[in-house]
Structure 1
Amino acid sequence: MKSILEFSAAHAARRPIVMTTAYDALLARHAARAGIDAVLVGDSVAMVVHGFPSTVHATMEMMVAHTAAVRRGAPDLVVVADLPFLAHRRGREAAVAAAGALVQAGATAVKLEGVAGHEDVIAHLVGSGIPVMGHLGLTPQSVHQLGGYRLQGRSADEAEAIRADARRAAALGVFALVLECVPAALAAAITAELPVPAIGIGAGAETAGQVLVISDLLGLDPDFRPRFVRRYADGAGVVQEALERYARDVRAAHFPAAAEVLA
Structure 2
Amino acid sequence: MRTSITALQRRKGAADAAPITMVTAYDYTSARLVDSSNVDAILVGDSLGMVMMGHESTLPVTLDEMIHHARAVRRGSERALLVVDVPFLSSTAEEPLVAAATRILAETGAQSVKVEGGAHRTATVRRLVESGIPVMGHLGFTPQSVNTLGTRVQAREESTARQLIADALALQAAGAWAVVLELVPSELAAEVTRRLDILTIGIGAGPECDGQVQVWHDMLGLYEEFVPKHTRRFRTLGQEVRGALNEYVAEVAAGTFPAEGNGSRMDPEVLARASQEPQESEA
Equivalent in the alignment of 1:59: 62
Identity value in percent: 44
1:47/1:53 contact within 8 Å kept: yes
Following the alignment from structure 2 to structure 1, what is the Cα–Cα distance between the partners of residues 97 and 223? 33
CA-to-aligned-CA distance 1:106-146 (integer Å, 9 cap, x gap): 21100010124332111000000000000000000000011
1:11 aligned onto 2:12? yes
CA-to-aligned-CA distance 1:191-226 (integer Å, 9 cap, x gap): 011000100000000100100001100011222111
CA-to-aligned-CA distance 1:19-63 (integer Å, 9 cap, x gap): 000001111111111111000000000001000000111110110
What amino acid does structure 1 have at the position aligned with 2:234?
A: Y
Following the alignment from structure 2 to structure 1, what is the Cα–Cα distance between the partners of residues 208 and 173? 22
Equivalent in the alignment of 1:41: 44
Give TM-score scaled by structure 1 length: 0.96
After TM superposition, the structure 1 = structure 2 runs for residues 179-190 of structure 1, keeping only pairs within 5 Å, are 179-190=181-192
CA-to-aligned-CA distance 1:125-184 (integer Å, 9 cap, x gap): 0000000000000000000011x2000011011111101000000010000010000000
Secondary structure of residue in 2 paired with 1:34: coil
2:60/2:89 contact within 8 Å kept: no
Secondary structure of residue in 2 paired with 1:112: strand
Following the alignment from structure 2 to structure 1, what is the Cα–Cα distance between the partners of residues 160 and 8? 27
Gaps of at least 5 residues in structure 2 are: 266-283
Gaps of at least 5 residues in structure 1 are: none
Equivalent in the alignment of 1:113: 116
Secondary structure of residue in 2 paired with 1:61: helix
CA-to-aligned-CA distance 1:58-87 (integer Å, 9 cap, x gap): 110110001001001112321000000042
The aligned length equals 261
Query: Quick check: which has more Rg, 1 or 2?
Result: 2
2:50/2:56 contact within 8 Å kept: yes
Equivalent in the alignment of 1:242: 244
